[in-house]
């Protein structure tokens, strides 16, 4: 269903989605305010603080900065690159892990992902007290803001979606089924990690490691776009296996696992063109566990009942890259495990009804 068609929802769906809202706010039936036109980019930029006020642009800038902070191996080609990368790695050693996906072996990274780290710790037969503790604190306070503003894989998908405006939104029941896939992936990854960890304690890890092959070190790595792009790809380049012309195209035959992994990432990016945040919505096991702890986060999204007109407008839902049925939630606070606090809904609401809620 293309984006424009989203506005033409069926009566049944509209009733289903707006029903809770009506119940929640029946007593305080508000007087609706007229639609307030949003300022254009040109108008915002003509003002000195336009860059800051424009939250969409601010998020893009922050995303790019964190993308570089998590993945700066291209600096290695620069004469000062070695020192900068060394500085980044020493900063990473003192910072806690963040609820994103960023591999612990990143060649030039200032941040490591909580999920990547605790999977490795379980695999090493260690219980990740500190990693889980810091992850839960961040998620309970800020929700999944790190997914919306910091995660490099979220950034890649957001930028893939930018040039093309036609988005596909599956039916709610299909979306619900597909969202379960990431939970199944999480269970499989944790099972393998704990299995390898226990085998180390039992002294049988050699056989288990042989049986699991590339899944024995950190079970999600072979399918983690972050690991594939920020660890496996630099490794291929540094070993001189990246083809630079037709005459050495045959290098790809030496890539082994990396070839299907790279194809997997390319497919994710291409599909993200039409399905925003496809990987986050359906496949990311880290996003699933982060969602559990961020559902009741102190910072979240709400709607002003005096301005929101859920029966005649669904601009926020059309804009939401996580395909959340925003109008289904109470006005006061939208407790969705899938909200990444990207604020796209807020930017696209012509009535300025979306608010950031605390507590």
| Residue ranges binding ligand SF4 (CB under 6 A) | 100-101, 147, 151, 153-154, 279-280, 284, 286-287, 301, 319-320, 322, 324, 326, 339-345
The span from the CA of 245 to the CA of 15, in Å, is: 58
Cα angle, residue 323 at apex, residues 318 and 329 outer, rounded to 5°: 90
CB of 85 to ligand SF4, least distance (A): 23
The span from the CA of 153 to the CA of 149, in Å, is: 11
Token pair of 329 as six digits: 């939630």
CB of 95 to ligand SF4, least distance (A): 17
CB of 300 to ligand SF4, least distance (A): 8
Nearer to ligand SF4, 195 or 320 (CB): 320
Nearer to ligand SF4, 198 or 313 (CB): 313
CB of 312 to ligand SF4, least distance (A): 19
CB of 70 to ligand SF4, least distance (A): 11
Q: Residue with structure tokens 């990693």?
A: 131
Nearer to ligand SF4, 81 or 172 (CB): 172
Which uninterrupted H or E stretch holds 357? strand 354-358
Provide the sign of the torsion angle of the four alpha carbons 8, 11, 12, 18, taken in this order: positive
The span from the CA of 187 to the CA of 184, in Å, is: 5
Token pair of 205 as six digits: 């890890």
Nearer to ligand SF4, 211 or 292 (CB): 292
**Closest by Cα among 108, 6, 86 to 326:** 6
The span from the CA of 9 to the CA of 168, in Å, is: 14
The span from the CA of 144 to the CA of 300, in Å, is: 9
Compute, in degrees rounded to 10, the torsion defined by CA atoms 235, 238, 243, 244. Answer: 150
CB of 268 to ligand SF4, least distance (A): 10
CB of 345 to ligand SF4, least distance (A): 3
The span from the CA of 300 to the CA of 322, in Å, is: 15
The span from the CA of 308 to the CA of 25, in Å, is: 11
- Taking CA atoms, 7 is separated from 202, 238, 240, in Å, by 58, 49, 51
CB of 270 to ligand SF4, least distance (A): 16
Nearer to ligand SF4, 189 or 322 (CB): 322
- 8 A C-beta contact, residue 30 and residue 303: no
Token pair of 150 as six digits: 């910091």
The span from the CA of 359 to the CA of 144, in Å, is: 15
3-state secondary structure of 305: coil
CB of 134 to ligand SF4, least distance (A): 15
């Amino acid at each position: 269903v293309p984006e424009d068609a989203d506005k033409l929802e069926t009566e049944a769906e509209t009733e289903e989605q707006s029903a809770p809202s009506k119940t929640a706010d029946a007593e305080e039936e508000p007087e609706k305010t007229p639609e307030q036109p949003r300022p254009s980019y040109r108008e915002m930029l003509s003002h000195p603080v336009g860059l800051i006020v424009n939250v969409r642009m601010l998020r893009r800038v922050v995303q790019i900065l964190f993308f570089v902070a998590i993945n700066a191996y291209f600096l290695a080609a620069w004469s000062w690159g070695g020192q900068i990368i060394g500085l980044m790695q020493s900063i990473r050693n003192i910072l806690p892990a963040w609820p994103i996906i960023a591999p612990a072996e990143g060649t030039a990274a200032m941040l490591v992902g909580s999920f990547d780290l605790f999977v490795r710790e379980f695999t090493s037969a260690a219980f990740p007290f500190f990693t889980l503790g810091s992850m839960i604190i961040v998620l309970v306070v800020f929700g999944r803001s790190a997914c919306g503003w910091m995660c490099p894989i979220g950034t890649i998908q957001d930028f893939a979606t930018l040039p093309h405006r036609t988005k596909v939104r599956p039916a709610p029941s299909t979306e619900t089924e597909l969202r379960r896939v990431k939970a199944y992936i999480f269970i499989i990854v944790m099972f393998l990690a704990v299995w390898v960890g226990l085998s180390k304690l039992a002294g049988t890890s050699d056989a288990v490691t042989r049986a699991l092959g590339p899944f024995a070190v950190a079970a999600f790595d072979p399918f983690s776009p972050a690991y594939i792009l920020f660890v496996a790809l630099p490794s291929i380049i540094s070993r001189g296996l990246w083809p630079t012309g037709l005459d050495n195209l045959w290098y790809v035959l030496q890539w082994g696992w990396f070839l299907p992994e790279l194809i997997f990432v390319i497919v994710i990016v291409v599909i993200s063109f039409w399905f925003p945040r496809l990987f986050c919505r359906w496949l990311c096991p880290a996003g699933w566990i982060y969602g559990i702890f961020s559902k009741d986060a102190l910072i979240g999204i709400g709607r002003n009942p005096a301005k929101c007109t859920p029966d005649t407008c669904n601009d926020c839902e059309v804009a939401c890259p996580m395909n959340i049925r925003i109008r289904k939630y109470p006005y006061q606070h939208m407790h969705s495990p899938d909200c990444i606090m990207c604020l796209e809904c807020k930017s696209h609401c012509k009535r300025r009804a979306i608010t950031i809620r605390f507590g």
